[in-house]
Amino acid sequence: MDGNGRWAVAKGVARIFGHRKGAQRVREITEYCSKIGIKVLTLYAFSTENWSRPKTEISGLMIILKVYLKNELKTFNANNIRFNVIGNIARLSQDVQDVINKTIDCTSKNSGLILTLALNYGGRDELVRAYNGLFLKSIKKVDEAQLSAALDTAKIKIGDPDLIIRTSGEMRVSNFLLWQCAYCEFYFTKTLWPDFTPHALDQAISDYRKRHRKYGGI
């Protein structure tokens, strides 16, 4: 979900307004994905690197996150959406953790779209945490299957992605799902996240469908 800050700067408003607009776009894209039958949607909401941002911006982001989850709980249940997170949320404040855990619990029996937010998430951090978890179990020689099973995504039972969409014109992975993206397709667009509409998503999916893949598919 890249480009919220740049969207705000381009419009001459504070960056926090871009994040608020981005949260509104999350609702629209999530409901659309549920409607068209996409099974899993994972959004990179806050990375391990984002802690370097100004404290006021981080505080504002956490307030937006809490408000979003509180407001969307009824929508999640009405649309049979199951909510989950990946990342080390232990670093988040307790009040944020409480809202996250309540949303996870209250949507746990839903069987439709799985919406996952990556919060305090970094691909390298995930791999380190997975390896350390295996080390604590006294597993001396780790194979691919064991490491995959120890990842955040495996714990919430979502598979590797078929398609990763990067908004805002950046053309890099940025520490997102480093292990899981080994065989996925990438789609890069200059569209900033607040302007990424369901139509833009349709274009990304259409482009993806034209590619010849040996594995998977939407």
Domain-located, residue 154: no
Long-range contacts at 204-213 (CB < 8 A, ≥ 24 apart) = 204/163, 204/165, 205/163, 208/162, 208/163, 211/185, 213/162, 213/185
Active site residue 175: no
Q: Classify residue 186 by its DSSP letter.
A: E
Number of domains in the chain: 1
Asked whether the beta carbons of 14 and 8 are under 8 A apart, the reply is yes
> Which residue has 């232990």 as its token pair?
90
- Measured CA to CA, the distance from residue 43 to residue 85 in angstroms comes to 9
For residue 78, the domain's CATH number is: 3.40.1180.10
Looking at the domain assignment, is residue 147 inside a domain? no
- The answer to whether 202 and 189 have CB atoms below 8 angstroms apart is no
The verdict on whether 152 is a catalytic residue reads no
The pLDDT assigned to 217 comes to: 41
b/e string for 37-69 if b means 16 or more Cβ within 10 A? ebebbbbbbbbbebeeeeeeeeebbbebbbebb
Residue 26 inside a domain? The answer is yes
What pTM was computed for the model?
0.93
Structural domain of residue 183, as residue ranges? 4-120+160-207
pLDDT in the model for residue 214: 56
The per-residue pLDDT string of the chain (218 residues; one tens digit each, 9 = 90 and over) reads 999 999 999 999 999 999 999 999 999 999 999 999 999 999 999 999 999 999 999 999 999 999 999 999 999 999 999 999 999 999 999 999 999 999 999 999 999 999 999 999 999 999 999 999 999 888 888 999 999 999 999 999 999 999 999 999 999 999 999 999 999 999 999 999 999 999 999 999 999 999 966 544 44
Q: What does the pLDDT read at residue 204?
A: 98
pLDDT at residue 216, rounded to an integer: 44
Catalytic residue among 4, 50, 110, 175: 50
DSSP-derived 3-state class of residue 119: strand
Considering the domain boundaries, does residue 140 fall inside one? no
Question: In this structure, is residue 198 part of a structural domain?
Answer: yes
127 lies in some domain: no
Whether residue 139 lies inside any domain: the answer is no
- Is 41 a member of any domain? yes
Contact between 41 and 30 (Cβ < 8 Å) = yes
Radius of gyration for the chain, computed over Cα atoms and rounded to the nearest angstrom:
17
